Amino acid sequence: MKIFSMPTEPRQAALAGAGIASPKNAGEAMRNPLAGAVANSPVLSFSRLEFSNLIDASRISMLAGSAFGNWHLTAGIESLNYDKMQGYTEDGLTSDGLYFTAGTIAAQLGIARTFNSMSAGLTARYANQNIDDYYMQGILFDGGVKYNLLKNFAFGAVFNNLGWIFSDAKEIAPLSVQAGITASCALPLGFSGALSADIYRRNDSAEELRTGLEIIFKELFSLRLGYPISSEENNALSAGLAIKLSFIDVEYAYQNRAALGANHIFGVSLYF
């Protein structure tokens, strides 16, 4: 179930997972429970991840959110589907006509609330994953808090995938924690910038420093860059952009990882 450690939204991917303290899109609530408090009007977000040729799979997600005063509610669903995989005999040899399938589907509900300069969020997720005739289910929780200081700084901390995995074999939920800071400032000619630095750690991987830079022009256009630093072979530049057109946001991200290759993530958000 490590899929639930991967970003679903283009902004998260473009910033290399940084910016936990400064969510911009309600769709980020698929991984960042603090993002549920972003939208003040009803929103519907879609995203699609196209993996590299190294992995014959695709993932889609959809999230709906709405505000009720200081309270914000979200509901989301996502699925990961693999193409048919070559089967093997007990001797480890390929067998013509022997294939198997795999996939994951999950649904989640989230709640967030703003408290003046603070906000907090909590998400509950049910997940089902299968590899051929092997199944597992999970009940997982995400939660976090953030604090805004002097309009230019935001501090945030979240946990992801705290819960239980139910399967015939012993499985451990991919619990992770992340804490970070975002500093923003105004730039000439209507531009503004935001620099994020986050520390991330998952229970089965090394500590990672995630850095991200976002350049914004009058809230109409954003250019994003990200770079993670760790002792593992995941150091690679990520990039992306976003365009706001009236009631619709269109986003794209390119993310490169040693194990997964180059991935492309597309997103659309509709505001009502």
Structural domains of the chain sorted by starting position, each given as residue range(s) with its CATH number in brackets = 2-271 (2.40.160.40)
pLDDT, tens only, 233-252: 667 889 999 999 888 999 99
Residue 53: pLDDT above 80?
no
SS3 content of the chain, % helix, strand, coil (to 5): 10, 65, 30
- Rounded to whole angstroms, the Cα distance separating 49 from 71 reads 30
Q: Which long-range contacts does 201-207 make (Cβ < 8 Å, 24+ apart)?
A: 201/176, 201/177, 202/5, 202/174, 202/175, 202/176, 203/172, 203/174, 203/175, 203/176, 204/172, 204/174, 205/230, 205/232, 206/230, 206/231, 206/232, 207/231
pLDDT, tens only, 249-262: 999 999 887 666 68
pLDDT score at 2: 77
Report the SS3 class of residue 6.
Answer: coil
> What are residue 62's DSSP bridge partners?
46, 77
Q: How many CB atoms lie within 10 A of CB 19?
A: 32
> Which of these ranges, 2-6, 110-114, 200-204, has the smallest mean pLDDT?
2-6
pLDDT, tens only, 167-183: 877 888 899 999 999 99
Residue 223: pLDDT above 60?
yes
Identify whether the C-beta of residue 15 lies closer than 8 Å to the C-beta of residue 147: no
Amino acid identity, position 205: S
CA-CA-CA-CA torsion for 27, 33, 102, 89, nearest 10 degrees?
140
Q: What is the value of pTM for the model shown?
A: 0.88
